[in-house]
Amino acid sequence: MPDSLLIFCLQCEHHRSSTSLRFHVLPGTTWPFLSRTKLCAIKAGSSYVIVFVFLLIAQAQDGPKPSSHVISNASSGVAVRDGYAGDEACAKCHSSVYQSYEQTPMAHASGLAVDNLIPADFTHKPSGVHYRVYPESGHAWLSFDREGRAAVHGKRELLYYIGSGHRGLTYLFADDGYFFESPINWYGDRKVWDMTPAYQNAREIPMNLPALTSCLHCHVSGMRPPIDGSENRYEMPLLTHSGVSCERCHGPGEAHVKGGAIVNPAKLSPERRDAVCMQCHMEGRVSIERAGKHVYEFRPGDSLSDYIRYYVVAGPSKALGAVSQVEALAESTCKKSSGDKMSCTSCHDPHFSPSSEERVSYFRGKCLACHGEAFGEKHHAEQRDCTSCHMPELASKDVAHTEVTDHRIPRLPNVSPQLLLDTNTAHGELRLVPFPDSREAEDDVRDLALAWESLANSGVEPARRRAQDLLRRSAAQFPNDAATLSALGYEEQLSGDLSAARKHYQQALAADPNLKDAATNLGVIEAQSGDLPGAADLLRGAFGRAPGRSSIGLDLARVYCLGGKPGDARTIVDRVLEFNPDMGAAKEFQQALNRANGGCK
């Protein structure tokens, strides 16, 4: 085979490290030797994937020549609890509240694409791809085209929109039942179309961005959980109610319609009251779903910490994220002084959004409700907009073209440069603490271990040793916890202890056979050891459940080639390109297979 790329990938969540591993050509193969090793990282959906890139040099050989070279949140398929009545049932008795809520962005956070279609027609300069979003025959479409040597042409039918468009909006399309996010987003603050966050400079079209429950949970109502074993394959219809419905904050209403009770968040304990907003307006530095739980199973009135734990880096917020309002508010003097008396609804009425003309007086009234009219008359009386100084809008650290309101409510309008430092470059001792903090959360070694592991895999290398220590403790305490075992196996694989990694991956898969990352990484180990059939079985299962993870598909295709099955390799590469048609490595692989006249050599 002429020069081409051989890619073997280890899977982990948010990984950007640059650790090198050793790889040996399998005994008995007649595969060209590997050289000129390079390690890089690409982002696939919400996960970073370690990509080991080997340049293949076409050369016959008599024998092998060795050379250099996270955690999954798969759904368990738990059915969403029933008992929902829908907004229309609420409107019969609460007409005025319903009509007011219908004017808010939350009420329009999702729906059918044709009902909120924002036309697009632009060329993304770094990739040279021309994108269009347009209606045709009662349907919504996305087209993508690039001419020239790396030509690509295609279109996808857009089924749903996500986001009201106030801050931003994207669309979802489906391929073989798997849902993906559009590679382009509408940015409401600047009123521009551009690539989806983190892909502004992408040279290839990211067509394989999975629509994950972590995104859908906060934008849709009546969401169906993923089909068992997958991360983004859903039954249709994907959602039963557009936008954020009444029951997302008040709980299932079927019993209430018949005269029973319903949740009123204002009457809950402060922790459970705040959880209703926190489930979507808190992200933290790391969030870890509890063992056997998913955050989309949370219902108003529940304790959110039963489903998910949030962790923040100790100290002031380093930068503001698009969903950091809860964490930022906790740092404010207003919240510290008011304690549990203050909540999101102290300033925000979830059933009402003031118009642009009403905004200044509306929020000024919220401030003066605590600070008093007399204070307002003498404190910069000429400036009626309190938020212009004390809640300035700052650029989001994680979403381009977007500004977020500073819920730290600073006394002075100028933000200290120290608050905008990246956690990855911060000096001093690194401390990761649960939010909200509690003795129970601090003693939870399982979730804390996975939090440190996620932090390390996001590029904060000083966190890795702490993660390793905690993972070993967690594995001893919870010997059947699949997430812990998979993460520990990954760390051992990185350090070269393949025997221990194999053991822990096998234990993880015994506890949860649907762990795609554990299966993929174990498949790489088996390929290295010469067990090609075993490697193929593992990779085939993982790729079958997540065909949008192109790197797994290319791993599988390479194993087929090494095993003398070029036809199977070609089928897998074609499947990769079905979901990711602009992936250069897959196109090069396909061309190499075609030039080999039915072989892999």
N- to C-terminal Cα distance for the chain?
Answer: 5
SS3 23: strand
Instruction: Identify whether residues 297 and 382 lie together within a single domain.
Output: yes
- Kindly report, residue by residue over 516-567, the tens digit of the pLDDT: 999 999 999 999 999 999 999 999 999 999 999 999 999 999 999 999 999 9
Q: Which two tokens stand for residue 464?
A: 């890795």
Radius of gyration over every alpha carbon of the chain, rounded to an integer in angstroms: 26
Q: Is residue 52 part of a domain?
A: no
pLDDT at 35 over 70: no
**What mean pLDDT do residues 237-243 have?**
89
Identify each DSSP E strand in 106-191 by its residue range: 110-112, 120-124, 129-136, 139-146, 152-162, 168-175, 178-181, 184-187
Contacts of 362 (CB under 8 A, 6+ apart): 354
Q: Does residue 480 sit in the same domain as residue 407?
A: no
Does residue 410 sit in the same domain as residue 473? no
How much of the chain, in percent, has pLDDT values that exceed 70? 81
In the prediction, which pLDDT does 526 show? 98
- Residue 19 confidence (pLDDT): 33
Same domain, 345 and 446: no
- Residue 589 has what pLDDT? 95
Tell me: the pLDDT tens digits for 386-411? 999 998 887 776 666 555 788 888 88
CATH number reported for the structural domain that contains residue 460 in this entry: 1.25.40.10
Residue 67 is assigned to a structural domain of this protein: no
pLDDT tens-digit readout, 251-288 = 999 999 999 999 999 999 999 999 999 999 998 889 99
What mean pLDDT comes out for the span 57-72?
27
Per-residue pLDDT for 422 more than 70?
no
Which helix H or strand E contains 395, and what residues bound it? strand 393-395
Give the CA diameter of the chain. Answer: 90
**Alpha-carbon separation of residue 44 from 154, 343, 533, 583 (angstroms):** 20, 36, 27, 12
Residues pairing with 307 in the sheet: none
Of 453, 438, 387, 463, nearest to 14 (Cα)?
453
- Predicted confidence at residue 523, as pLDDT, reads 98
Domain count, the chain: 3
DSSP string, 384-417: --THHHHS-EEE-SSSTT-EEE-TT--SSSSPPG
- Residue range 177-204: average pLDDT? 95
Is 136 a domain residue? Answer: yes
Average pLDDT over the chain, rounded to an integer: 84
CB atoms inside a 10 Å sphere around CB 601: 14
Choosing from 188, 217, 251, the residue where a domain stops is 251
* 240 and 302 together in one domain: no
Laid out side by side, the sheet with 432-435 consists of 286-289, 308-313, 432-435
pLDDT band at 417 (very low <50, low <70, confident <90, very high): very low
Residue 468 lies in domain? 437-595
Q: Which of 201, 223, 251 is the last residue of a domain?
A: 251
pLDDT band for position 317 (cuts 50, 70, 90) = low
Average pLDDT over residues 225-230: 90
CB-side neighbour CA atoms (13 Å) of 191: 0
pLDDT in tens, 107-121: 999 999 999 999 999
Taking the mean position of all CA atoms in its chain, how far away is CA 46?
Answer: 3
Q: What is the pLDDT of residue 278?
A: 94
For residue 321, is it left (φ>0), alpha (ψ between -120 and 50) or beta? Answer: beta
Q: What is the pLDDT of residue 542?
A: 97
Cβ(230)–Cβ(542) under 8 Å? no
Q: Does residue 94 belong to any structural domain of this protein?
A: no
| Domain presence at residue 17 | no
- What's the pLDDT score for residue 123? 98
The yes-or-no verdict on residue 37 having pLDDT over 90 is no
Residue 76: its pLDDT value, please?
34
In this prediction, residues 207-221 reach a mean pLDDT of: 94
> Do 100 and 351 contact (CB within 8 A), yes or no?
yes
Contact residues for 600 (Cβ-Cβ < 8 A; gap 6+): 1, 31, 560, 561, 562, 564, 566, 569, 593
* Predicted pLDDT of residue 8: 60
Q: Quick one: 284 and 155 in the same domain? A: no
- Do 567 and 524 have their domain in common? yes
pLDDT given for residue 428 in this prediction: 59
Residue 348 has pLDDT above 60, yes or no: yes
Q: Are the C-beta atoms of residues 290 and 275 closer than 8 Å to each other?
A: no
State the pLDDT at residue 601.
62
Is the pLDDT at 455 greater than 80, yes or no?
A: yes
Looking at residue 21, its pLDDT comes to 37
Rounded distance, CA 458 to CA 455, Å? 5
**Same domain? 471 vs 333:** no
| Shared domain check, 345 and 208 | no
Q: 224: pLDDT confidence band, cut at 50, 70 and 90?
A: confident
Q: Which of 504, 505, 491 is nearest to 461 (CA)?
A: 491
The reply to whether 286 and 394 lie within a common domain is yes
**Does residue 87 fall inside a structural domain?**
no
If pLDDT is split at 50, 70 and 90, which confidence band does 62 have?
very low
My answer on whether 378 and 526 are in the same domain is no
- Give me the numbers of helices (H) and strands (E) for the chain, helices first please: 21, 18
Q: How far apart are CA 526 and CA 26, in angstroms?
A: 10
Which helix (H) or strand (E) element contains residue 365? helix 359-371
User: Taking 60 as the threshold, does the pLDDT of residue 382 lie above it?
Assistant: yes
From 85-99, 153-167, 226-240, 321-335, the region with the lowest mean pLDDT = 321-335
- Mention every residue, 6+ apart, whose C-beta is less than 8 A from residue 38: 53, 54, 55
- Residue 583 domain-assigned (yes or no): yes
pLDDT at 320: 57
Q: Which parts of 321-378 are beta strand (E)?
A: none
Ramachandran region, residue 450 (left: φ > 0; alpha: ψ -120 to 50; beta: rest) = alpha
**Does residue 420 have a pLDDT over 60?**
no
Domain boundary among 425, 445, 479: 425
For position 43, what pLDDT does the model report? 33
Q: Which of 53-62, 207-216, 506-515, 558-567 has the lowest mean pLDDT?
A: 53-62
pTM, full prediction:
0.84
Is residue 463 located within the same domain as residue 522? yes
Nearest to 197 by CA among 173, 220, 163: 163
Q: Which helix (H) or strand (E) holds 551?
A: helix 550-562
Instruction: Return the H-helix or E-strand segment holding 5.
Output: strand 4-11
pLDDT for residue 68: 26
Strand, helix or coil for residue 538: helix
Domain presence at residue 33:
no
* pLDDT for residue 598 is more than 90: no
